[in-house]
């Protein structure tokens, strides 16, 4: 058969099981039709080619147990190869970065500079690499880290553990802790930041977050502070998980994160570059998992990267 001729998948019917209950229809199709662009999937939903129990449904329809989903034939061209090239050295590095694993969950020490998922011109991320490493599991992100943030990233191996851990995030029984380097002397009296945050998208498509009383509630706790005149080292507990929360909260207090090209202070970043700081100085140092049916009560630590260690030693 000529491999240059687009192939056509066969029509199929899928019955929803307990593992897929409450999943959105579009997310179900993203996983079922992994090689099909998202724009194509939304189009076949909109046109009614996808049916649930013989009826049209919107992308945000929540699946129920026993639902019968009609998945239509979709033409697959050679440009949609799910086997995106990932350097073997990076796959090996991520395999070695596993900090904790059981039959339900994974915690890895994500390197700075690696996105958690593909999109917006990024061909692959941590989730794509882990799916390549563990092809037999349905790995999903429990939470996200910014591309330039390093450290503990929690992944779930099936939908039930995903929902369980996300519930723990919502009730604050799963705690996320960070190390941060910020401009100037952080005041010892400042132990909580509570500015509400609002997201906006610029004309260029870039996402930004700013303080706005009409935004979402956000809470950041400073659990340890090693102050200095040029910079301070902070231990931070992220109580809510808003986009760019630590970065924007610190900026709002007049103490921008070192190496932050989006919300940072240019002169401070230049000063820190002279010290060899060429990355965002934010590291997810610790995850505290509660006792659940999916996890023991456990603390998972990601050692501070060498660039943090140098600054810590300089402060000692």
Q: Give 143-169 pLDDT, tens digit per residue.
A: 999 999 999 999 999 888 999 999 999
Q: What is the pLDDT of residue 80?
A: 39
Mean pLDDT of 62-82: 73
For the question of residue 109 being annotated catalytic, the response is: no
Q: What is the pLDDT of residue 2?
A: 35
Domains of the chain: 10-76 (3.10.290.10), 88-160 (3.30.2350.10), 169-315 (3.30.2350.10)
Mean pLDDT of 117-143: 84
Catalytic residue among 109, 146, 148, 260: 146
pLDDT at position 293 over 60: yes
Q: Determine what percent of the chain is predicted with pLDDT higher than 90.
A: 66
pLDDT at position 109 over 80: yes
Q: Give 153-209 pLDDT, tens digit per residue.
A: 999 998 889 999 999 999 999 999 999 999 999 999 999 999 999 998 887 778 899
pLDDT at position 6 over 70: no
Q: What is the pLDDT of residue 120?
A: 66
Q: Give 252-278 pLDDT, tens digit per residue.
A: 999 999 999 999 999 999 999 998 999
Q: What is the pLDDT of residue 305?
A: 94
Of residues 5 and 302, the one with the higher pLDDT is: 302
Residue 196 near residue 220, CB atoms below 8 Å = no
User: C-alpha angle with apex 245: 240 to 250, nearest 5 degrees?
Assistant: 125
Q: pLDDT tier at 117 (50, 70, 90 boundaries)?
A: confident
């Amino acid at each position: 058969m000529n491999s240059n001729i687009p192939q056509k998948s066969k029509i199929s019917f899928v019955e929803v099981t307990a593992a897929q209950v409450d999943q959105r229809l579009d997310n179900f199709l993203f996983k079922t039709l992994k090689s099909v662009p998202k724009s194509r999937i939304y189009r076949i939903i909109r046109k009614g080619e996808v049916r649930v129990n013989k009826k049209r449904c919107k992308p945000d329809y929540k699946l129920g147990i026993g639902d019968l989903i009609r998945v239509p034939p979709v033409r697959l061209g050679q440009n949609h190869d799910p086997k995106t090239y990932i350097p073997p050295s990076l796959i090996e590095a991520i395999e070695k970065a596993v900090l904790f694993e059981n039959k339900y969950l994974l915690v890895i020490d994500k390197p700075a500079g690696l996105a958690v998922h593909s999109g917006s011109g990024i061909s692959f991320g941590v989730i794509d690499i882990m799916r390549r490493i563990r092809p037999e599991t349905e790995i999903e992100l429990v939470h996200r880290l910014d591309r330039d943030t390093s450290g503990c990233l929690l992944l779930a191996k099936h939908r039930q553990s995903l929902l369980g851990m996300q519930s723990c995030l919502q009730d604050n029984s799963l705690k996320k802790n960070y190390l941060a380097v910020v401009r100037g002397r952080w005041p010892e009296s400042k132990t909580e930041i509570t500015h509400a945050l609002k997201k906006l998208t610029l004309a260029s498509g870039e996402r930004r977050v700013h303080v706005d009383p009409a935004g979402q509630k956000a809470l950041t706790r400073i659990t340890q502070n090693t102050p200095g005149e040029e910079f301070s080292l902070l231990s931070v507990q992220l109580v809510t998980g808003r986009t760019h929360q630590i970065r924007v909260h610190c900026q709002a207090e007049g103490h921008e994160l070192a190496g932050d090209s989006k919300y940072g202070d240019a002169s401070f970043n230049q000063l820190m570059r002279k010290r060899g700081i060429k990355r965002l100085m934010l590291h997810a140092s610790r995850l505290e998992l509660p006792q659940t049916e999916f996890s023991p009560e456990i603390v998972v630590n990601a050692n501070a990267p060498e660039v943090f260690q140098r600054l810590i030693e300089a402060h000692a």
